[in-house]
Amino acid sequence: SQQGPGAVNLCATVPVDACIVLETDDGYYALSPADPKGFIAAVQERYRMGPATIMEPARIRQPWLGQMLAGDTVGHGLLTIGAVGVLVLFAVLMISFPDLPEVLTVRYNSAGLPEEIGEKAALFRLPIIGLLAWGINGIWGLWLSARGQRTGAHMLWGGAVVVQGFSLLALISLIT
């Protein structure tokens, strides 16, 4: 859309032929209100009241992620903690990886004897589990947050942090 007389400003979620078009001195505005008849009645009511303040049309755009998380400090915090958790999981493994033996005891029986052994490269499964939990729950949580279901999004993001915490505990128990 353009600015100036005769310009059509599209402020709609439907095609132009299904919109209400308002003509102003600055151009045309194509709108798609949820209640078209109520919208027209409200516009006519305000027109009869006269101008309260003359305003210049302005466009304010936020990035799509900013719109989903606008004002959600808990959501920002949980996503950040999850990202840091992924980095911590990989950092702990990468720091201790060179000093680990090629074969590790993965599980012990009730008598304290080794029951299962595995290669040290299998330890990368734990950080990958943390990364997948953060990624999948993060995307799903963003989808919920975009639909106004922040509690569900917070539960998903918090769940990813819990998975990372347990992965870190398992990783530490296997490398020590």
Encode pLDDT of 115-167 as tens digits. Answer: 888 888 989 999 999 999 999 999 999 988 888 888 999 999 999 999 999 99
Q: Is the distance from CB of 95 to CB of 105 less than 8 angstroms?
A: no
7 vs 132: which has the higher pLDDT: 132
| Count of C-beta atoms within a 10 Å radius of residue 126 | 23
Average pLDDT, the chain: 86
133 vs 2: which has the higher pLDDT: 133
CA distance 165 to 134: 12
Confidence of residue 28 (pLDDT cuts 50, 70, 90): confident
pLDDT on residue 2:
47
Helices (H), the chain: 36-49, 64-68, 73-96, 125-146, 150-175
Confidence of residue 26 (pLDDT cuts 50, 70, 90): confident
Share of the chain above pLDDT 70, in %: 91
Cα dihedral 158, 140, 168, 78 in deg (nearest 10): -40
pLDDT on residue 161:
97
pLDDT at 1 over 50: no
pLDDT on residue 118:
85
Q: In the predicted model, what is the mean pLDDT of residues 36-61?
A: 82
Q: Is the distance from CB of 93 to CB of 172 less than 8 angstroms?
A: no
pLDDT on residue 82:
96
| pLDDT tens digits, 62-91 | 666 666 677 788 998 999 999 999 999 999
- pTM, 2 dp: 0.60
- Residue found under tokens 């128990």: 173
User: Which residues have C-beta within 8 Å of that of residue 100, sequence separation ≥ 6?
Assistant: 120, 123, 175
